[in-house]
Structures are given as structure tokens and as C-alpha cells.
Amino acid sequence: GENVEQHPSTLSVQEGDSAVIKCTYSDSASNYFPWYKQELGKRPQLIIDIRSNVGEKKDQRIAVTLNKTAKHFSLHITETQPEDSAVYFCAGPNTGNQFYFGTGTSLTVIP
Amino acid sequence: GAGVSQTPSNKVTEKGKYVELRCDPISGHTALYWYRQSLGQGPEFLIYFQGTGAADDSGLPNDRFFAVRPEGSVSTLKIQRTERGDSAVYLCASSSSGGARTQYFGPGTRLLVL
């Protein structure tokens, strides 16, 4: 089955700096890679996703890059703000319909 | 439109009791997923429904856990003979179809087994 590894587990950045979170996967047939943001006590919410036919996708301050050869995809947040503080999860489906989530990255943006 | 809803939001029960957790997916979504999330962990897959049938139940930890979706909409996760280790947040998600589609999560049910 799919194995998704996520790093780092915790990340602290100064407000205005960039944050990068990386996930690696094992199933070369995976074709969809979402990123979820979860605030304390709240539900996970999709912030951006990418499909395997593109290498990068950007939405304002958030971008995701995909390297299919190396089997990793990364979340990039630029000009971080305190409200970006949350836990971020990557996920990847296997060739079936399961979604395997990473272990999460706790991001703290220091004002 | 309305998002995914789950009831109850919190459930406290005693070890050995039976509990039912309910999920109302987004209208028209054929795919429904149940996950379990422990503190500090990512959601852990339990079961996936496509329509009324359980297309993949390989994530259910043991035979105390069972889920149904009789009419292809609302789903109920049932846990028999609850154990303290079952304490977690149970999340439901739905998508327009299975596979590579965005999953929309409900707020979860926080289960505490005493």
C-alpha cells in the first residue's frame, strides 16, 4: 500500500518568511496529491492539490511542487502570517481509493 | 451548500458499551470515507463507500468496528464493546467520486471511552 512520509514534524518561522514542507511517497501510480490544513479542534480543510500531469501549482501565497521521478511533493507558503499557524497534512491515494495521510507538520508563525 | 455533518460532536461512553456515529455527506457525493484521528497524528483510513457498498474496509482495526450506508447517503459507524484505545476523533469525508477527487471533511465526533 501507499506509504507517505512527511517532514519536518514541527516548523517555526518568523512572520513574512517562507515555509516548506515535504512529503515522499512510494506508489509510482499515485496521481493526486492534496494538502490539508487543520487548525486546533477543527476539521482538515483542503488548501491546494496537484495532479501528476503538472509539476507545479500556485494559489496566491501557497504553491505545491511535484517531482515524480524522485517521488516527492512539497508545500510552499510564502510571506507567512500568524493565521497560517496550524498542522498541515499531505496525502496520497494508492492505486485504489484509500488516502494515506502524512503524520503532519505543526507550523508556528512567530509574529 | 451544506457541508459534511457529523453527529454527535462529542460522545462519552463506558468501556464495553456500544456506540453509533453518524455522517451526513454532501448531497450528491457518491464516495464516503471514515477516518480515525488520534492526538498528534494524521487521519487514519478506516473504510470507503462507493454508493451503498463498502468498496474497501481494509482499515477497520477489528470486527468490533462496522459501518453501513444503506441508501447511499447517510453512513453510520458502529463500534461494539468499546475499549479505551478506541478513544479518538472519528472523521467522515465525502467526495463526488472515488479516487483522485477532493475529499471534504466533517467536523468529527470526539469519542471518549472511560
pLDDT digit string, tens, across residues A39-77: 999 999 999 999 888 899 999 999 999 998 899 999 999
Average pLDDT over residues B30-56: 92
Which residue out of A25, A90, A99, A105 would a mutagenesis test of the B interface target, given it has the greatest number of B Cβ atoms within 10 Å?
Answer: A99
CB pairs below 8 Å between A and B: how many?
56
Which residue out of B103, B104, B109 would a mutagenesis test of the A interface target, given it has the greatest number of A Cβ atoms within 10 Å?
Answer: B103
The percentage of chain A sitting over the pLDDT mark of 70, rounded to a whole number, equals 95
Q: What is the pLDDT of residue B113?
A: 98
Q: In sequence order, what are the residues at sequence separation of 6 or more whose Cβ sits closer than 8 angstroms to the Cβ of residue B100?
A: A31, A32, A51, A93
Average pLDDT over residues A71-88: 97
Q: Nearest-CA residue of chain A relative to B43?
A: A101
Split at pLDDT 50, 70, 90, the class of A1 is: very low
Split at pLDDT 50, 70, 90, the class of B54 is: confident
Chain A residues with CB under 8 Å of B102 CB are 34, 46, 49
Average pLDDT over residues B60-66: 96
Q: What is the pLDDT of residue A77?
A: 98
Whether the predicted pLDDT of B110 surpasses 90: yes
Q: Cβ of B91 and A98 within 8 Å? A: no
